Amino acid sequence: MTESGTFVWPPVPIPTERLMLRASEARDRAAFVELFASPEVGTYIGDTRPRDELERALPEVPGRRPGCFVVARDGTMIGMITLDPRGAERRGHVRPEAGEAELGYLFLPEAWGHGYAFEACAAALDWFTSTCPGEPVVLSTQSANDRAMRLAAKLGFTEVEWFEEYGAEQWFGVRPPATPAG
Ligand SMILES: CC(C)(COP(=O)(O)OP(=O)(O)OC[C@H]1O[C@@H](n2cnc3c(N)ncnc32)[C@H](O)[C@@H]1OP(=O)(O)O)[C@@H](O)C(=O)NCCC(=O)NCCS
């Protein structure tokens, strides 16, 4: 984030071994509808919306905002990654002034189980580290969300605290800024 708290956006597309991280485009709209309508994706998020409502309500280019990466495989969107400031009203902070960058990840069910989310999140975190050196990244997920918990651990997030929010137990973790070598 810049000193005013925003990213320079959109970034140059980021390639990984199998994927591409880029800003959202109009051709991704159907995948956004799929993602937000999927009961599997929404299991631990509790925000699934009817497909027809999404078709009407989503903008022409959903997710076109700073910090929202579309993850594409062979040009087609398979998921999204967000790095948003964590609101001061939420529980779970590592800074008194709040607003820490919070990592979020949502992938289409057919893209689970291939290591894509890990590959894409690792690249997004590398991008974040080079864009905002010295900044921690936080993450919260329902503790029952095994896949999200395993991914957080693989990405190097460590536990800060557990708490109750949205009627469920939440795990809150941090990925401390990398310390300079030597
Ligand atoms: C959370 C979520 C992104 C995790 O997806 P995922 O595919 O399980 O995560 P990873 O990319 O780390 O992939 C790990 C799996 O890929 C497998 N895999 C296959 N090929 C692989 C490879 N080349 N490299 C790494 N892992 C590979 C791993 O063995 C592992 O499988 P397992 O979970 O059956 O043991 C996904 O479940 C999701 O979008 N859920 C819905 C949204 C959500 O709840 N988000 C969290 C909100 S906080």
**Cβ within 8 Å of residue 154, ≥6 positions away:** 118
Q: Rounded CA gap, 168 and 45, in Å?
A: 10
Q: Is 38 left (phi over 0), alpha (psi -120 to 50) or beta?
A: beta
Quick one: pLDDT at residue 3? 45
> How many percent of the chain have pLDDT more than 90?
88
Q: Which atom of ligand 1 is nearest to 142's Cα?
A: 48
Q: What is the mean pLDDT of the chain?
A: 94
Q: Which atom of ligand 1 is nearest to 151's Cα?
A: 12
Closest by CA position to 80, among listed 51, 116, 55: 116
Q: Rounded CA gap, 170 and 162, in Å?
A: 6
Taking the centre of ligand 1 as the mean of its atom positions, its distance from the CA of residue 56, in whole angstroms, is: 30
Residue 68 belongs to what H/E stretch? strand 68-73
Pocket residues: Cβ below 6 A from ligand 1: 41, 44-45, 104-107, 112-118, 141, 145, 147-148, 151, 154
Residue 42: exposure state from Cβ atoms within 10 A (0-12, 13-18, ≥19): middle
Quick: pLDDT tens for 13-64.
Answer: 999 999 999 999 999 999 999 999 999 999 999 889 999 999 999 999 999 9
The pTM (predicted TM-score) of the whole model is: 0.95
Q: Which residue has the higher pLDDT, 29 or 3?
A: 29
